[in-house]
Amino acid sequence: MTNLPTFDDVVSAAQRIQGHAHKTPVVTSRTVDEELGARVFFKCENLQRMGAFKFRGAFNALSKFTPEQRKAGVVAFSSGNHAQAIALSARLLGIPATIVMPHDAPAAKVAATKGYGGNVVIYDRYTQDREQIGRALAEQHGLTLIPPYDHPDVLAGQGTAAKELFEEVGPLDAFFVPLGGGGLLSGCALATRALSPDCMLYGVEPEAGNDGQRSFRTGSIVHIDTPKTIADGAQTQHLGQVTFPIILRDVNDILTASDTELVESMAFMASRMKLIAEPTGCLGFAAARQIKAELRGKRIGILVSGGNVDMARFASLLGI
């Protein structure tokens, strides 16, 4: 892949989203520092607009639309945070948005997407292919399709989260970032190599779906069936054509966390730090806890990627 995005694209994205996305807080905890024997900085994208970092990439991508693209509108297919990020960004920019969602998407997510002004098109997860539907809508109505991770403007936008972290706390020794299709990790990798070049950068994915780890270690993209995990933001089946080469070049390793470890980290963050993270948002912290012996005395960054978990599910995951 030639013409991969660079840190300059992250810098431009930061300018585009400024005043629209939150500069999210960086939270520290003495309890965590004691547990890990390290100085730990949590970048709280669970406190981003619509509850996840995905607002950054979506807003950046839509900001670059031409007047013709703006008029015709955007289409996205997602049951999760990307749908809400596109719907909210489109509303803020006055762009019509069509979101293709599965018939069994949680009612709260459909309602949230509609609440942000998105036009929701429902498809049957078992008999219809969402990409086909998305592409057909795009062709019929001249809409621009924005994918959830495999797009230069999306990943450049996601990288602004890491840029903010390094600008606030300075260089780090290790940085843990959740991994699905790799938009967040590749964008953060561009920022890490520019602002903290010697930092060990880890992507963290669910143990049940370690396609990213296998891809990273074999050097070619591995495809898997949709993994069964509570980390619904990282149930992707493969890395992207744009995200993978950046990850291969700039990331140090890919780690995994089990659902049990995610629940433990989620409970710890809620009870000790008063932070509500969704299961996927806990991947980074869970992995850091696994290798804490290696982190002793170091300065560590953890990206908490999102907080969209409804309270009934949160309670049942914690066994309340």
Ligand X SMILES: *Cc1c(COP(=O)(O)O)cnc(C)c1O
Active-site residue set: 54, 79, 205, 209, 211, 305
Query: Which lies closer to ligand X via its Cβ, residue 73 or residue 284?
Result: 284
Among 86, 151, 140, 130, CA closest to 112: 86
Interacting residues with ligand X (CB under 6 A): 52, 54, 80-81, 148-149, 178-185, 233-234, 236, 278, 280-281, 305-306
Number of Cβ atoms within 10 Å of the Cβ of 168: 12
Minimum CB–partner distance for residue 81 and ligand X (Å): 4
Residue 82 Cβ vs ligand X, minimum distance, rounded to whole Å: 6
Could you give the CA distance from residue 255 to residue 149 in angstroms, rounded to a whole number? Answer: 19
The whole-angstrom separation of Cα 132 and Cα 146 is 14
CB closer to ligand X out of 73 and 209: 209
- Residue whose CB is less far from ligand X, 29 or 81: 81
Q: How far is the CB of 181 from ligand X (least distance, A)?
A: 4
Closest to ligand X by CB, 75 or 139: 75
Shortest distance in whole angstroms from residue 127 CB to ligand X: 25
For 182-220, letters b (16+ CB in 10 Å) and e give bbbbbbbbbbbbbbbeebbbbbbbbbbbbbbbebbeeee
> Cα–Cα distances in Å, from 137 out to 79, 127, 319?
17, 17, 42
Q: Give the residue at shortest CB distance from ligand X.
A: 306
Question: Minimal distance in Å, beta carbon 278 to ligand X?
Answer: 6
**To which residue do tokens 């990206």 refer?**
303
* Alpha-carbon gap, residue 158 to 53, rounded angstroms: 6
Give the nearest distance from C-beta 67 to ligand X in angstroms.
28
Q: How many Å from the N-terminal Cα to the C-terminal Cα in the chain?
A: 48
The number of angstroms, rounded, from the C-alpha of 155 to the middle of its chain's C-alpha atoms is 9
Residue with smaller CB distance to ligand X, 221 or 296: 221
Quick one: 72 or 224, whose CB is closer to ligand X? 224
What is the residue type of 8? Answer: D
**How far lies 55's CA from each of 47, 139, 252, 259, 276, in Å?**
11, 25, 26, 26, 18
